């Protein structure tokens, strides 16, 4: 079964970043999944991100805005070696402005 890497961008949030006055309004994230095809990979990766923003999760607790709305920026197939070595990929890059 092949590996796929999906880049997503999310918006509409009000997430407190660090302990300061910085409030993020959006994010970028990448997830890597193993799936039968590109459509199945999209569903799996989006499900992972959704679960990370579901009520009770650390990201949901820090978000004073609505749940994020996201757009799939890119989906590509990656090699088995890349998929195995990099795992599922985690984390977010947050941004403050729509600029």
Name the E strands within 1-99.
Answer: 3-16, 23-34, 69-78, 93-95
Averaged over successive runs of 10 residues, the pLDDT of the chain (99 residues) comes to 91 84 91 91 90 88 90 85 62 82
Q: Report the alpha-carbon distance of residue 24 to residue 70 in Å, rounded.
A: 15
Q: What is the chain's length?
A: 99
pLDDT at 15: 92
Q: Report the alpha-carbon distance of residue 31 to residue 21 in Å, rounded.
A: 28
Angle at 88 between CA 94 and CA 81, to 5 degrees: 125
pLDDT at 14: 94
pLDDT at 38: 92
Structure token pair of residue 47? 């499900």
Q: Is the dihedral of CA 71, 72, 74, 79 positive or negative?
A: positive
């Amino acid at each position: 079964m092949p590996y796929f890497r999906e880049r997503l961008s999310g918006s509409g949030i009000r997430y407190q970043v660090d302990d300061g006055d910085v409030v993020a309004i959006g994010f970028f994230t990448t997830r890597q999944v193993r799936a039968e095809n590109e459509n199945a990979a999209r569903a799996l990766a989006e499900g992972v991100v959704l679960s990370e923003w579901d009520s009770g999760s650390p990201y949901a607790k820090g978000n004073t805005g609505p749940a994020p709305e996201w757009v799939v920026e890119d989906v590509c197939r990656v090699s088995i070696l890349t998929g195995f070595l990099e795992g599922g990929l985690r984390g977010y890059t947050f941004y403050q402005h729509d600029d």
